Amino acid sequence: MIEKNDIICAVTDAIGSNGEGIIKHEGITFFVPACLPGEKVRFKVLKIKGNIGYGKAEEILTPAEERVREKCPVFLRCGGCCLQHLDYSAQLSHKATVVKDTLRKIGGIQVSVPNAIRSDFPYGYRNKLQIPVGVDKDGQTVIGFYAEHSHRIVPITACAIHPEWSEKLIATIKRYMTECAVKGYDEENKTGALRHIVAREIGGKFIVTLVTAKRELPNLPYLIGLLSEIFREFSLYLNFNNEDTNVILGKEFQLVHGIGVFEAEEQGIYYQAGPVTFLQVNENVRTKLYKDALKTVCKDGDEVVIDAYSGGGLLTAMLAKKAKRVYGIELEPEASRCADMLKVRNGLVNMTNICGYVEEHLPKVMEKEKGEKVGLILDPPRSGIARSVTKALLESGIEKLTLISCNPATLARDLGILAGRLIEEEGELVKNPAYEGVAEGETLPGYYEIERIQPYDMFPQTKHVETLVQLSQKKPDSIINVKIEFGEGDGELSLKKIAERIEANKPKEKVTYKMIQDYIEETYGFKVHTAYIAEVKRDLGLPMYDAPNAVEELKKPRQHPSEKMVKAIEETLKHFEII
């Protein structure tokens, strides 16, 4: 019987999605970091739970041909790069396998996936540094990255996937903190000042943001002087965040040096970026990905394109250069304002930016552009496409979709829904029974089928991968015309029975927000705001746009409903058979 601390010699069977070696031994599947397929390894058992185990490699007895020497001195101690020991060409193949296997396991989709498109710069590619500052067990300030699955900071002076400027910045901040007695933030005791360093390079210029637990830092002119020695042109912000949270940035920004935003150019589009502007961290691969997306969506130049989750509007603007008209839909007001400035700066009269929910505005744009050749591109956050959006997509009638995803798991879920392989029952996703007996790779009419899928290695040396997917709506293979005779005789379709069925299945009375509020007050003895009802409906994936005022309230900063309110609203929705 295998126990903790046992030493085992075995051969690695495969490499997992997190870069760990998978070793099957005596009925137990072990996950052992830094082991490659085919390698004979000696590892120590750290933990066993049922038929799953975790281990630590003690020695690689027979190294694989794909094994290379890691560049980072804290490889495996830091929770970042888990593939540095794997040859770069093999990383591209591995990431394709991860996408393929995830689509099959989660989405029920069998599809061939080519190797990921390579980054021309496997190291030093990141244009953004985001690094925590804290204290060690002795209370000394440390700057570094979190160890995996923890908030313990592994001290570093440089990072192989960041450019040389990041090393200089870390050394400069460390010098400032030492000389000006600024302490790193202690999460346990809630003491200290500096929590994070966030910096971004934009066209050779830099925006540095120091996230602090205090509104002021000492001797900032001295810090500005130090930064001037390493950066020719930069802006410096203080960001105040004293919340007990994993969210890095707070809401309060103070510009203490520079102009605050810088302009850059990408594929003929001039854009401005500030401290919170979202941009892909790998500019080289971003250019390749966006060129592919533009080619996929704008083939003839007469298309009307909808860019959902459009962010600051960079891709929307690129689309506007190629398409007849473009709509960008973005929920975040600041990002939408940036898109408006982008439109004006580049003179894009055919670009319309909409601030709001995709599921709300997509049908409106589709109605407005009825008769046009409409294409849609979606680039959602890691959490993927909201359930209400996938529902709206399936009802939209859009023939062509292009999807960009940075998370294979949520991509697989979303593609499973769009392809009809997954359907929702009582709030849970289950396999669609209609696909029983349907051949692998086949798609039922009314759903979307994958025309092309291409991973991009936006994040070399790490487990992460960006994927572009092109989909088209499956049309019926043929149409059958049927002649029906109505009547009450033999062989005729009874109109009386049809009327009876219609009466039995006619839609129930529409349940209004006022009815929900009244029921809650009468049953539970307290009142709830319509915005709270809208929030609960949104979280349940239900439409909520029958009360526009409630939706507008949702967009404003406000408290969330209490647990008691959420339970009351959910029970009321069940009472009215909405859920």
Are 330 and 310 in contact by the 8 Å Cβ rule? The answer is: yes
Which residue among 298, 338, 355, 406 is the active-site one?
406
Q: What is the dihedral of CA 460, 461, 465, 466, to 10 degrees?
A: -20
CB atoms within 10 A of CB 517: 18
Are 270 and 447 in contact by the 8 Å Cβ rule? The answer is: no
What are the helix (H) ranges across 406-474?
A: 408-418
Which pair of tokens denotes residue 303?
A: 């298309």
CB atoms within 10 A of CB 530: 19
Does the annotation mark 298 as catalytic? no
CB burial readout 263-285, b (16+ within 10 A) else e = ebebeebebbbbbbbebbbbbeb
Angular region, 541: left φ>0, alpha ψ -120 to 50, beta rest: left
Largest CA distance in the chain: 98
**Position 332, amino acid:** E
Which pair of tokens denotes residue 96?
A: 């394709």
Question: In sequence order, what are the beta bridge partners of 326?
Answer: 305, 351
Helix, strand and coil content of the chain, in percent to the nearest 5, comes to 30, 25, 45
Strands 466-473 and 400-405: antiparallel
Distances (CA, A) of 301 to 308, 318, 321, 375, 396: 19, 12, 9, 11, 22
Are 363 and 392 in contact by the 8 Å Cβ rule? The answer is: yes
Q: Residue 365, SS3?
A: helix
Backbone angles phi, psi at 494, to 5 degrees: -75, 120
Q: Which of 51, 55, 50, 48 is nearest to 12 (CA)?
A: 55
Q: Which of 493, 530, 503 is nearest to 515 (CA)?
A: 530
Distances (CA, A) of 283 to 90, 199, 287, 289, 456: 22, 15, 6, 10, 12
CB atoms within 10 A of CB 485: 8
CB atoms within 10 A of CB 503: 8
Q: Just list the catalytic residues.
A: 406
